[in-house]
Structure 1
Amino acid sequence: MEAYADVELRELQLYNPDASVEGKLVPKKKDGVLYIQVTELRCGSVIVACTFDHRIANAYSGNMFLVAWAEMGHSENISLHPSFQRSLLNPRRPGSCDASLDDMYVPLSTLPPPSSNGMPRADPVISRIYYVTAENITRLQDLASSKGCRRTKLESLGAYLWQIVAKSEMDSTKRCKMGVVVDGRTRLCDGKNSVANYFGNVLSIPFGEETVEELVKKPLSWVADTVHEYVHVAAEKEHFLGLIDWVEAHWPEPALAKIYCKGIEDGSAFVRQRFPVEKLNFGWGRPVFGSYHFPLGGESGYVMPMPSVTQEGNWVVYVHLLKGQIEVLEEVAGDVFKPLTPEYLGLHGDATKFSKQTSFPSDAFFWGSS
């Protein structure tokens, strides 16, 4: 689809994608696999937005497609050819499923029917986009590390967000969950067959559960250690081999990660996925900004940090949480999670005069949606 919007790129409220993007710049998914909308703005900038079916591919696969698309636009060779060799994920004979997988996934048929009274939620789920500076990421990593164990940036930021979500709860005895999406491609490589270029879904979502009181009162290093423990278990090859066997054992019954099941709606999933904005040059210059827009249905949260293309070392963080959780986030961590603004992207000047210079990064804006 081609579209035109009588607005300049610098006027878009990217901090609030619910208002500026949803239903306007991103095409709605119907019955197909992929939908693309290209929107030209008054200043000459271009927005490319894609919506794809998550049953076909995860974000990693989507990135492969986007990069290949840009390379083909330059008549370049595709740097990473996708593999559709489904046998790479064949189950073992006989299969072997660890009991812990039953705590992570559940067949849909075992879930209670959704209850709805037709009334909108008092505390809806909303989306916001922030940026976090490299200095703040390093500071959180220092606070999250102890006893000589250096926690990763992902573990550190995830632990920090888990504490913030817990602070939004009034009941200190309530249990709060946090999951981390782990890609299994690198874990399944065996030296003979590589799944690095496998096109499809190779994900697992381990999660932890602690009381609100513990998460709020314990130091960040304790929370980060907890995140590390449950992520480490699911980061092994055996975990993904077992998950393949678990899916086969329940075939053809579809299943759902328990972090998203009704009854544990206080859970949130956290993932770091590299969005290759710097490689998405379709011929008019490197994009000034790229992000996923992933407004899940239901009441579960979702947080996705990505490297910033504007400031090296910074992260752009897409946040999809309950409105009350967002309010607490901005109140207690406003110095860390700063709203994404046109000024941060370098769009505070006259955008029109830059729109014809293909070397200037604001010539293009890319938005990924699934």
Structure 2
Amino acid sequence: MQLAAYIFPSKLLYILSFTNTNISLASEPRTANCELRTANCELRTANCECMAASSPLRFSVRRAKPVLVAPAAPTPRELKRLSDIDDQEGLRFQIPIIQFYRHVSSMDGRDPASVVRDALARSLVFYYPFAGRLREGDGRKIFVDCTGEGVLFIEADADVELEEFGDSLQPPFPCMEELLFDVDGSSAVLDAPLLLIQVTRLRCGGFIFALRLNHTMADAAGLVQLMNAVGELARGAVAPRVLPVWCREIFQGKPAPTGRPSLAHREYDVVPNTNATIIPVDEMDHRSFFFGPRELAALRRLLPPHLRRATSTFELLAACIWRARTLALQPTNPDEEYRIICVVSARGHPGFDLPAGYYGNAFAFPTAVATARELRLRPLAYAVEIVKKTKSHFSLDYLRSVADFLVAKGRPHFTVVRTYVVSDVTRAGFPDVDFGWGKAVYGGPAKGGVGAIPGVSSFFVPFVSASGEKGIVVPVCLPAAAMERFSREIERLVGDEIGEEQRKAASIRSTL
């Protein structure tokens, strides 16, 4: 099945050649046309017309040539093995993160791009595997070749102020492709830089820090650990407060016959795609939904008394969105199974004792299954109960069984057919990352629907509304017609409690 996408013509001006890698560090003018915004990019200059909140936003971005930032001191040259959780097919993709920072008078005279770049180089002495490249060996096993080549870094200037992005900074962000420029040749999983970072200075004195991570290297908590290290060194520390630990062997599967999965793993079922449910990416809308205390209370009131206090916010929201999303897709066969994959972390989970400083992927994908008919005819409590039951299956034995399964089956992708994947990053700490300018106004995933198969995933992101109300933002990616049905269903569920932030949720045509 073919995924549709916008193609930007480019002609390389020059190429730097690295080990097994060709990365273009400049390009000729390009033009991108998509619904609701036009980006005209001259050599290292982009003129953007976007939609921010309810009004047009126009600004230009001037980018310096991308550079490689290497560790500030010599680092070991070695091969380091990723875990068997890290290198599964479902994590072989790039994930974008974005952070917005206000102007701080105490930092006047300090250039955020220089501060971040210098601290990054010093951080890579401790986190030197990020300066290497991934290589694939026998059995599709991935290793990090610690070459010390470095990570890609771009500094840029935008003639826009932070306030012009609107009162509520939440995904999808306007002109994201200009705030995190995709350097030609850099987005491959193997033989390419493992991090791409762009720091864009704003006219008001604030700045935007955007990052793209090769997900095989770290999960959300591991990435925040690295970002905090950069922040601590930027603020004057000589070493990170938490020193990194590799130890990827703790999630190493055993080959057959000794390593036979001890549990069923329906997240890796091979499911025929009978209804072509993988949607062309350029036909999707991206929209964020805000759930504050009022909206969450309204949803909780839909549950019977025995579930109201026993259900976590994650379980409540995950079940609600899974059910509403399934109904919005209008399944033609009501007896087909629909899945929700809950990303459950081992960090802080009973029975796990991860080393302090471990930054690898430490989670699994326990999966709940129900038919479209069951989700439509039964109340929200039904979806909540099976989500709760599915999460309860997660344990150390479960994660070890997953590693054995992945080794035995050739590191497959989790099933994406009729599947919704949800990950909670509300406690990951993205907004708390401080490079010297204080906490981020917004920090976290740049959009939903990312992954090898676009559109199947969402994140729960911490958010403070323009009125100061704390809650959770959920970026959702759906076809336009399904998005309208989904929005109406969410509004019906929360009723009169729906907040102003919800009503103002903006959609934008995908440009993945």
TM-score of the aligned structures, taking structure 1 as reference length: 0.76
| C-alpha distance 278-95 of structure 1, shift in aligned 2 (>3 A) | same
**Residues 118-155 of structure 1 deviation map (CA, whole Å, 9 limit, x = unaligned):** xx949823322332212322332343454356111101
Larger Rg: 2
Partner secondary structure for residue 176 of structure 2: coil
Cα deviation 1:32-63 (Å, max 9, x = unaligned) = 10010011122222000000101222222111
Distance, in Å, in 1 between the alignment partners of 2:337 and 2:481 is 17
Structure 2 residue 156 is matched with structure 1 residue 3:
yes
**Alignment correspondent of 2:457:** 302
Structure 1 residues 309 and 121 mapped into 2: Cα distance closer, same or farther (>3 Å)? closer
* Match of residue 270 from structure 1: 422
Residue identity matched to 2:461? M
Of 300, 303, 317, the residue aligned with 2:474 is: 317
SS in 1 for 2:216: coil
Aligned residues: 323
Matched to 1:153, the amino acid is T
Equivalent residue in structure 1 for 2:298, among 139, 161, 168: 139
Q: What is the SS of the residue equivalent to 2:306? A: coil
- 8 Å CA contact 1:15–1:130 kept in 2: the answer is no
Paired residue for 2:268? Answer: 105
1:209 to 337, 344, 369: 369
Other-structure match for 1:158: 318
Q: Secondary structure at the match of 1:314?
A: strand
Match of 1:42 in 2: 203
Contiguous gaps of at least 5 residues in structure 2: 1-153, 492-497, 507-512
Which residue in 2 is equivalent to 1:198? 358
> Who is 2:509 aligned against?
none
Matched letter for residue 104 of structure 1: E
Q: Aligned letter for 2:370?
A: E
The alpha-carbon deviation at position 208 of structure 1 amounts to: 1.9
- Using the alignment, how far apart are the partners of 2:318 and 2:358 within structure 1? 27
- Report the CA distance shift for 1:16/1:84 in structure 2 as closer, same or farther (over 3 A): closer
Amino acid at match of 2:165: L
Larger RCO (CA under 8 A, 6+ residues apart): 1
Match of 2:403? 244
Q: Is the 8 A contact 2:314 2:424 kept in 1?
A: yes
Matches for 1:1-370 after TM superposition, within 5 Å: 1-12=154-165, 17=171, 20-28=174-182, 29-30=186-187, 31-76=192-237, 78-91=240-253, 94-101=258-265, 103-105=266-268, 121=280, 124-144=283-303, 146-147=305-306, 150-170=310-330, 171=332, 173=334, 174-187=336-349, 194-195=354-355, 197-233=357-393, 235-250=394-409, 253-258=410-415, 260=416, 264=417, 266-273=418-425, 274-294=427-447, 295-309=450-464, 311=468, 313-334=470-491, 335=498, 338=502
Q: Report the CA distance shift for 1:52/1:286 in structure 2 as closer, same or farther (over 3 A).
A: same
Residues 36 and 316 (structure 1), Cα distance of their counterparts in 2 relative to 1, 3 Å cut: same
Q: Judge conservation of contact 2:221–2:429 (CA < 8 Å) in 1.
A: no
Kindly state the Cα deviation for residue 317 of structure 1 after the two structures are TM-superposed: 2.1
CA–CA distance in 2 between the matches of 1:137 and 1:39?
Answer: 35
Structure (1/2) with the larger strand percentage: 2
Residue by residue over 1:201-252, the C-alpha shift from the partner in whole angstroms, topping out at 9 and shown as x without a partner, is 222112222222221221111110011112211x2111011112223334xx
Alpha carbons of structure 1 residues 58 and 213: separation in structure 2 relative to 1, 3 Å: same
Using structure 2 for the length normalisation, give the TM-score: 0.57
Taking the aligned partners of 2:350 and 2:217, their CA distance within structure 1 comes to: 19
- Alpha-carbon RMSD across the aligned residues, in angstroms, is 3.2
Unmatched segments (≥5 aa) in structure 1: 343-370
Q: Secondary structure at the match of 1:243?
A: helix
Q: Is the 8 A contact 1:267 1:300 kept in 2?
A: no
Q: Work out the CA distance in 2 between the residues paired with 1:321 and 1:232.
A: 29
Q: Give, in angstroms, the shift of residue 161 of structure 1.
A: 0.6
